Copies of this chain bind each other. A is one copy, B any other.
Amino acid sequence: MTTQVDSGVRQRTRRAILDAAAAAWARDWSTSLGDIADRAEVSRSTLHRYFPERQALVDALLIDAQDTLERLWTGATAASGSPIESIENIMIAIAEEANRIVFLFSDPSRFAGNPNWRADDDTDDMVDLVRAAQADGTVDSDIDAEFTVGIVYSLVYVAAEAAASGRMPRHKAAEYAVRTFRHGLSPRHHA
C-alpha cells in the first residue's frame, strides 16, 4: 500500500516496467512477464507487486501510452500554424517517443473491447487533420484520408526502426519520414 503519494522510487520502478513492456510487446506480444522483468532490471516478484496480473500491466500500459500520445499531440498542434504543419510536428514528436507508443499500433485489434482503449480517437483526429490539409490544398485529395493516416503512422514506424537499429540519429530518421510524407502526398504533380 502506498503511504501518501507514490515515492520517487516507486515512480521510477513503475516507469522502468512500463517502458520495458512497451518495447518488448511492440515486437512480440508473447514476451513473458519474466523477460519483461529482466529488461526492466527488476525481479518478477517486484513486477507482480506493481501489476498483480498481466492484464493490469496491459491496462496501465494502454493508459500510459495514450496519455503520452495526447500530450505530444497537444504540444505539436499548439506549435503549428497549419494542418500540414501539425501533422509533420506530430510525426516528429511520435518518432521521439516511439518506444512508448508503437505497441499501440502493432495490432490494435488486440485491444478491441478494452475499456481503456481510446487511441481510435487520436486516429480520428488525425483523419480530420488530413482532411483539413486536403481542403487546404497542401495534401493530395486524390488519396483516401484514412489511407493517408496509415502512411503517416507507418512512416513514423520506419523512422523509429531506423533510429532503434542505430543506423542513424533519431532526428535524421524523423526528417526523412516527414520529407517523404510532404513530397509523397503533395497534390501538385504531373501525372
| A184 / chain B contacts, CB cutoff of 8 Å | 179-181, 183-185
Residues on the B chain within 8 Å of A168, using CB? 144, 147
Task: Classify the interface of chain A: helix, strand, loop or mixed.
Answer: helix
Interface presence of A132 (CB below 8 A): no
The answer to whether A151 touches B158 (Cβ under 8 A) is yes
Contacts of A147 in B (CB 8 A): 158, 162, 167-168, 173, 176
Looking at chain A, what size class is its interface with the partner chain? 20 to 34
Say yes or no: A150-B158 contact (C-beta < 8 A), given A184-B183, A184-B185: yes
Instruction: Check A179 against B107 for contact (C-beta < 8 Å).
Output: no
Query: Quick one: CB contact mask for A167-178 with B, threshold 8 Å, 1 for yes?
Result: 110000100100
**B-contacting 9-mer, from A2-10, A26-34, A36-44, A78-86:** A26-34
Alpha-carbon distance A32/B110, docked complex (angstroms): 15
